[in-house]
């Protein structure tokens, strides 16, 4: 790690300053889909699969139109009016630097009619960011939260110990959940071909709503990321440091087991329509299986992609993945996309069709587009995801593909198939969205590991051959959600929101139903996932 930091320091000292000012936008599907017309235009070669994005010159016009909607410079408005509807709470711009800051408040309330239960969320938070010269950008957000959730989310939090995608629950099983989460990044672009970002956050790889490679579902983690853009190629390498409270603690001094991850992603825009991406990742434990301190493995400090041979030369002690991402623009604004991730690979098992426990892979196919039926800002996505049993799991708990007890890829874990459809429409200050999700998966039952829970080691599976998606306690989930929001201030996504969720999860042991209606004040760009599946039987 010292060698890496030393090289970066030299690069910063001698690099030529870039001409473009970096501008960072936190990732959430609901905001990024508004950029569809530009990102998936056949007239651009935009790299679309690596998020969050530094807003570039191609996206700047569309981005500015979204952030400045409703601003009327021809009339003089009071300070209170401007701060409520048009501006950041603090907004300073000079030739040498910029700075903004906002207070974020969320207070939606509602009722779970099926569970006969009041639900609510009370969040106080902030976001701030700015630039220094044209090359340095910083951003941070933080939230203090209390909430009462519908029963299926309460069950999930009690089992996992985490509020989905946010942070650990400090209520320790109480009905009112209590958590806080903070993100922050510093971003430096020393030359126009390279960006260096470090901080506490998330990275999403893919063009879909979900990702089977790396998603934004798990809680934020510390990372150092280099992203290079040379011609039609974008290349990212990221080192991260994570924890796994579900894994047994090695000793009192070390506390929760900690682990490292390295991720590489190369995206090649073959032409204006076709893009192909190559991915690999390695997860390794901070303490080895014998209880010895290992720390950062310098053999993984090499920023070159495809580290599987390096991992193999180390004796294959770690959890290694390879995968690819593909996108093809069918027409202007419409793209088909897909992903494939390979965990373990033994040719005789992969091609034999025997359902081996080592036949571990995940996949995605989808289509997304803008202006459906020629209606401006009517955007859509349809996608199919799946993962074989035992994918992402390992022979040692700490090395599974997770962060803070939640998957780094798809929220369902493994042993599942999913069909999801999303529809979004924006008209002036109104945002309308709808989601349909059908999941099919198998939970563990009778104390046996059927491959959905990635936190279970797969050295003792329910059976070694004949595995199939949905095995175990076969479960089906239907999820429907609709929202209407009126945007008060686009700068920090302040809005009045009304919404409803219907969810049914059923198998031979339980039949859970949720019908929740909510309304209230929301703000921030963070994604809060409620379309999740159970990990374990109740």
Q: Where are the beta strands (DSSP E) in 315-450?
A: 319-331, 334-342, 361-369, 378-387, 402-403, 406-407, 416-427, 430-443
Question: Averaged over 261-271, what is the pLDDT?
Answer: 96
Given this model, what pLDDT does residue 459 score? 85
Q: Tell me 299's DSSP state.
A: G
Cα–Cα distance measured from residue 440 to residue 374, given in angstroms and rounded to the nearest whole number: 34
Give the β-pairing of 257-269 and 233-244: antiparallel
Residues 6+ apart with CB under 8 A from 190: 11, 12, 15, 16, 17, 18, 135, 196
Classified as helix, coil or strand, 21 is: coil
Question: Averaged over 5-18, what is the pLDDT?
Answer: 38
Cα–Cα distance measured from residue 148 to residue 121, given in angstroms and rounded to the nearest whole number: 7
- Mean residue pLDDT across the chain: 89
Cα–Cα distance measured from residue 489 to residue 421, given in angstroms and rounded to the nearest whole number: 28
Question: Averaged over 348-374, what is the pLDDT?
Answer: 87
Q: Give whole-number Cα distances, 478 to 23, 271, 498, 502, in Å.
A: 38, 39, 21, 8
Taking the chain, what is the end-to-end CA distance rounded to the nearest angstrom?
A: 43
- Which two structure tokens, joined as six digits, stand for 205? 């790889």
Cα–Cα distance measured from residue 128 to residue 138, given in angstroms and rounded to the nearest whole number: 8
Given this model, what pLDDT does residue 344 score? 78
Task: Give tens-digit pLDDT for 398-431.
Answer: 889 999 999 999 999 999 999 999 999 999 999 9
Given this model, what pLDDT does residue 8 score? 40
Q: Which of 13-22, 46-55, 311-320, 469-478 has the lowest mean pLDDT?
A: 13-22
β partners of residue 261: 240, 283
Given this model, what pLDDT does residue 298 score? 83
Helix (H) or strand (E) holding 65: helix 57-67
- Single pTM value for the model: 0.92
Residues 6+ apart with CB under 8 A from 369: 36, 40, 333, 334, 335, 379, 380
Residue 295 vs residue 99, higher pLDDT? 99
Q: Which of 8-22, 50-64, 189-203, 281-295 has the lowest mean pLDDT?
A: 8-22
Q: Which residue has the tokens 């993100």?
A: 183
Which of 54-58, 242-246, 381-385 ranks highest by mean pLDDT?
A: 381-385
Given this model, what pLDDT does residue 304 score? 78
Residues 6+ apart with CB under 8 A from 258: 241, 242, 243, 244, 285, 286, 287
Cα–Cα distance measured from residue 404 to residue 244, given in angstroms and rounded to the nearest whole number: 5
Cα–Cα distance measured from residue 204 to residue 199, given in angstroms and rounded to the nearest whole number: 15
Cα–Cα distance measured from residue 241 to residue 100, given in angstroms and rounded to the nearest whole number: 29
How many CB atoms neighbour CB 369 within 10 A? Answer: 21
Q: Tell me 397's DSSP state.
A: G
**% of the chain at pLDDT higher than 70:** 90
Cα–Cα distance measured from residue 192 to residue 391, given in angstroms and rounded to the nearest whole number: 38
Q: Which residue has the tokens 């970002």?
A: 197
Instruction: Say yes or no to pLDDT of 264 above 90.
Output: yes
Given this model, what pLDDT does residue 15 score? 37
β partners of residue 266: 235, 278
Domain definitions of the chain by residue range: 2-108+130-141+189-522
How many CB atoms neighbour CB 78 within 10 A? Answer: 8
Distance of CA 514 to the CA centre of its chain: 25
Question: Averaged over 256-285, what is the pLDDT?
Answer: 93
CATH T-level assignment (fold) for domain 2-108+130-141+189-522:
Porin (2.40.160)
Given this model, what pLDDT does residue 181 score? 93
Q: Are 349 and 359 in contact (CB under 8 A)?
A: yes
Cα–Cα distance measured from residue 333 to residue 66, given in angstroms and rounded to the nearest whole number: 18
Q: Give whole-number Cα distances, 491 to 22, 64, 67, in Å.
A: 17, 10, 6
Cα–Cα distance measured from residue 23 to residue 107, given in angstroms and rounded to the nearest whole number: 29
At residue 13 the predicted structure's pLDDT band, cuts being 50, 70 and 90, is very low
CA gyration radius for the chain? 23
């Amino acid at each position: 790690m010292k060698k890496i930091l030393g090289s970066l320091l030299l690069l910063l000292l001698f690099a030529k300053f870039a001409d473009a000012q970096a501008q960072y936008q936190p990732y959430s599907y609901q905001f990024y889909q508004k950029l569809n017309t530009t990102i998936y235009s056949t007239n651009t070669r935009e790299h679309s699969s690596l998020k969050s994005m530094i807003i570039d010159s191609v996206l700047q016009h569309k981005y500015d139109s979204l952030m400045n909607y409703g601003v009327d410079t021809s009339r003089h408005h009071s300070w209170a009016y401007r701060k409520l509807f048009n501006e950041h709470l603090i907004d300073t711009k000079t030739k040498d630097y910029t700075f903004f800051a906002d207070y974020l408040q969320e207070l939606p309330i509602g009722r779970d009619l099926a569970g006969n239960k009041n639900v609510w969320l009370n969040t106080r938070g902030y976001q701030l960011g700015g630039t220094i010269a044209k090359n340095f950008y910083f951003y941070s957000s933080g939230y203090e939260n209390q909430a009462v959730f519908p029963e299926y989310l309460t069950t999930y939090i009690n089992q996992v110990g985490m509020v989905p995608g946010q942070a650990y629950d400090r209520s320790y099983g109480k009905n009112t959940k209590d958590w806080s989460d903070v993100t922050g990044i510093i971003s430096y672009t020393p030359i126009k071909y390279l960006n260096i970002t470090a901080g506490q956050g998330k990275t999403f790889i893919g063009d879909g709503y979900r990702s089977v490679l790396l998603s934004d579902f798990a809680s934020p983690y510390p990372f150092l990321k280099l992203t290079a853009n040379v011609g039609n190629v974008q290349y990212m390498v990221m080192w991260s440091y994570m924890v796994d409270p579900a894994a047994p603690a090695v000793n009192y001094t070390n506390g929760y087991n900690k682990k490292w991850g390295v991720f590489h992603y190369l995206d090649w825009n073959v032409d204006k329509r076709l893009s192909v991406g190559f991915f690999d990742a390695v997860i390794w434990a901070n303490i080895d299986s014998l209880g010895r301190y290992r720390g950062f493995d310098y053999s993984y400090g090499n920023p070159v992609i495809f580290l599987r041979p390096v991992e193999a030369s180390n004796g294959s002690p770690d959890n290694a993945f390879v995968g690819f991402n593909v996108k093809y623009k069918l027409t202007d604004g419409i793209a088909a996309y897909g992903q494939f991730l390979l965990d373990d690979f033994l040719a005789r098992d992969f091609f034999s069709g025997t359902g081996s426990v080592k036949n571990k892979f995940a996949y995605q196919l989808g289509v997304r587009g803008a202006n459906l039926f020629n209606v401006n800002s009517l955007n859509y996505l349809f996608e199919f995801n799946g993962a074989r049993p035992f994918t992402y799991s390992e022979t040692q708990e700490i090395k599974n593909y997770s962060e803070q007890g939640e998957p780094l890829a798809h929220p369902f874990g493994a042993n599942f198939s999913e069909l999801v459809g999303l529809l979004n429409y924006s008209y002036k200050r109104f945002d309308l969205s709808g989601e349909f999700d059908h999941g099919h998966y198998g939970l563990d039952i009778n104390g046996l590991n059927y491959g959905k829970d990635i936190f279970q080691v797969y050295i003792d599976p329910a059976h070694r051959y004949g595995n199939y998606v949905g095995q175990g306690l076969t479960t089906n989930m239907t999820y429907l959600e609709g929202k209407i929001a009126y945007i008060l201030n686009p700068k920090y996504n302040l809005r009045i929101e009304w919404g409803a969720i219907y969810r049914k999860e059923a198998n031979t042991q339980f039949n859970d139903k949720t019908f929740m209606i909510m309304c209230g004040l929301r703000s921030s760009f963070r994604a809060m996932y409620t379309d999740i599946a159970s990990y374990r039987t109740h």
